[in-house]
């Protein structure tokens, strides 16, 4: 899905958070950062927090007021992030909101060369977006939490929101230089050497028919917990068969001598 996403920070207080937001945007492949009436200066601390994600910080747009923002920013779908729920405005989860936008809004339904613009809007660190700020957004959304504290650090909230839209609307995953691909079986997967394991344990003198927990069930569970691939299954089977064969040869030798 083709779209433009712009992260908007309203009245941010701490420059290090702005730098950390820039780094989060770099992680998720977004680059357009907007500050509305920032309450701090951008100095080396912000650059230090951005670390290797400097682009959004260095190319940020700054507006002194919402009026200036309205004048310069295009028509867009505006999503404001808040934990403030009330009768005047219902707060929705981000995931179903993204589904609704994709399936029902005119910006995504009509064919156009112009990409839809999404504004993710985050409030200041101490109290978030005000009621007045939320009056101008299309959707008020919250991010998932599982503890009693629903308030997040600004940069962490931005990172989670950007990750969720990538998960929902897609994107090209970064390929690490030494990233190992998910194992793939060619043809029919190699089955576990079940009978070979049974024969081996019996040759060692274990009883594998008594009870639900015995030497066989424990060994099989331990081996399978490593989720071996087809090649490892073949090697495992060879090791078991060869050790069983050597054990039989040793017993035969003992009887003769």
Q: Are 118 and 164 a contacting pair, CB within 8 Å?
A: no
Could you list the residue range(s) of the whole structural domain that residue 202 is in? 194-256
Are 220 and 149 part of one and the same domain? no
Q: Specify whether 12 is located in the same domain as 71.
A: yes
Q: How far is CA 213 from the centre of its chain?
A: 38
Predicted local confidence at residue 189, as pLDDT? 52
Nearest residue to 6 (alpha-carbon basis) of 151, 112, 122: 122
72 touches 42 (CB < 8 A): no
65: CB partners within 8 A, 6+ apart: 36, 37
* Same domain? 45 vs 78: yes
CA 41 to chain centre: 31
Element (H, E) at 6: strand 4-10
For residue 200, give both structure tokens. 């081996």
Q: What is the mean pLDDT of the chain?
A: 87
Do 28 and 137 lie in one domain? The reply is: yes
* Mean local confidence (pLDDT), 111-127: 89
Closest alpha carbon to 154 in 5, 22, 1: 22
Query: CA-CA distance, 124 to 131, in Å (whole number)?
Result: 13
Mean pLDDT over 61-71 rounds to: 96
Asked if residue 132 and residue 227 are part of one domain, the reply reads: no
pLDDT tens digits along 20-34: 999 999 999 999 999
**Same domain membership, residue 154 and residue 48:** yes
Q: Rounded to whole angstroms, how far apart are CA atoms 233 and 191? A: 7
User: What pLDDT digit, counting tens, does each position of 216-250 carry?
Assistant: 888 887 887 766 777 778 888 888 888 888 888 88
């Amino acid at each position: 899905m083709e779209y433009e996403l712009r992260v908007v920070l309203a009245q941010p207080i701490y420059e290090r958070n702005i730098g950390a937001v820039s780094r989060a945007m770099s992680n998720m492949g977004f680059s357009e950062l907007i500050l509305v009436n920032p309450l701090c200066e951008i100095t080396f601390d912000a650059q230090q927090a951005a670390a290797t994600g400097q682009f959004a910080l260095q190319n940020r747009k700054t507006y002194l007021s919402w009026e200036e923002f309205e004048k310069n920013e295009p028509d867009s779908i505006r999503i404001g992030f808040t934990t403030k729920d009330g009768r005047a405005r219902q707060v929705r989860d981000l995931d179903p909101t993204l589904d609704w936008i994709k399936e029902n809004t005119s910006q995504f339904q009509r064919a156009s060369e112009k990409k839809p613009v999404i504004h993710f809007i985050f409030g200041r660190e101490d109290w978030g977006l005000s009621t007045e700020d939320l009056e101008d957004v299309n959707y008020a959304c919250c991010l998932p939490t599982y503890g009693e504290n629903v308030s997040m650090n600004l940069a962490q909230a931005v990172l989670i929101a950007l990750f969720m839209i990538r998960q929902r609307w897609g994107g090209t995953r970064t390929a690490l230089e030494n990233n190992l691909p998910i194992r793939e079986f060619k043809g029919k997967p190699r089955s576990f050497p079940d009978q070979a394991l049974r024969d081996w344990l019996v040759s060692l003198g274990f009883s594998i028919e008594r009870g639900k927990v015995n030497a066989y069930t424990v060994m099989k569970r331990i081996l399978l917990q490593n989720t071996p691939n087809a090649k490892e299954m073949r090697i495992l089977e060879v090791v078991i068969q060869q050790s069983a064969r050597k054990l039989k040869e040793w017993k035969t030798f003992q009887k003769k001598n």
